[in-house]
Chain A
Amino acid sequence: MTNQIFEELFGSKARVKILKFFFRNEAGYFDLPSIAQRVQERKTIVKKELVRLLKIGFIQKRNKPLK
């Protein structure tokens, strides 16, 4: 039920899963294919959400997987 609330509130099932994924893996950096695989969504959809999240400063990007 709570998941349904979040999905309606945020307007996207994929977005909810991606947000949770980053909260649960706060310290890590992941590339697009592995994020898509872990949240079980299509890469094109995940890419779109990542661009959005990047724009609002929720996530950062870098070219190395580790800190």
Chain B
Amino acid sequence: MVKKIRKSKRKSKIKKRIKRRIKKKFISSGGGKVYYGFDPKFEFSGELKNLMLTPPPASLGRMEKRIAGLGRVKLALVSGVFLNKENVADLLIVGDDVDRRKFKTFLKSLEAEIGTQIIYAIMDREEFSYRRAMFDRFVRLMLEGPHEILIDRIGL
């Protein structure tokens, strides 16, 4: 009788120890990971998607202010997801001394708002003029494709 009690006590002790270790992440709970994804069988999937993705995904006016605060930005234009059009990139910033750390936080919050990753390019003025002069494919597609200019201090 006494032995049995001791045994069960020991078992619960071990269980507790394992639980504590899972909590502290020393060991993994094993296979318990859950992944979530959109269910195409959802009743209003088409309607809701149209409703949520058709309007411009971010306020361009607010974006303009935030981009202007990143450094000496000469040119900023949006395309791609911001206009619901296809293009090589979604965001192009031309400027000298653009604060990369500020830009990263800006990008993160923007991506959170939109719900997807943003394809972007940052270059200084010199590189931009050079690429433009030699009809660089990327720059040409951005300027000739559908786009909206937020900041323009170059005089495009």
Contacts and interface: CB of A to CB of B under 8 A. Distances in A.
A40 B109 contact: yes
A24 B115 contact: yes
A16 B49 CA distance: 12
Interface residues of B, number: 30
A22 B114 contact: no
Nearest to B45: A58
Interface string B21-52: 00000000001111111111111000011001
Interface residues of A, number: 37
Determine chain A's interface SS by DSSP, over half rule. Answer: mixed
Given A2-B55, A3-B58, A31-B33, A23 B38 contact: yes
A58 B36 CA distance: 10
B116 interface: yes
Nearest to B112: A40
Contact of A24 (B40, B58, B108, B114): B114
Interface of A: 1-3, 6, 16-17, 19-32, 35, 38-41, 50, 54, 56-65
Given A31-B35, A38-B111, 16 more contacts: A2-B56, A17-B112, A20-B53, A20-B115, A23-B48, A23-B115, A27-B37, A29-B37, A30-B36, A31-B33, A31-B36, A40-B112, A59-B38, A61-B36, A63-B32, A65-B35
Interface of B: 31-43, 48-49, 52-53, 55-59, 108-109, 111-116
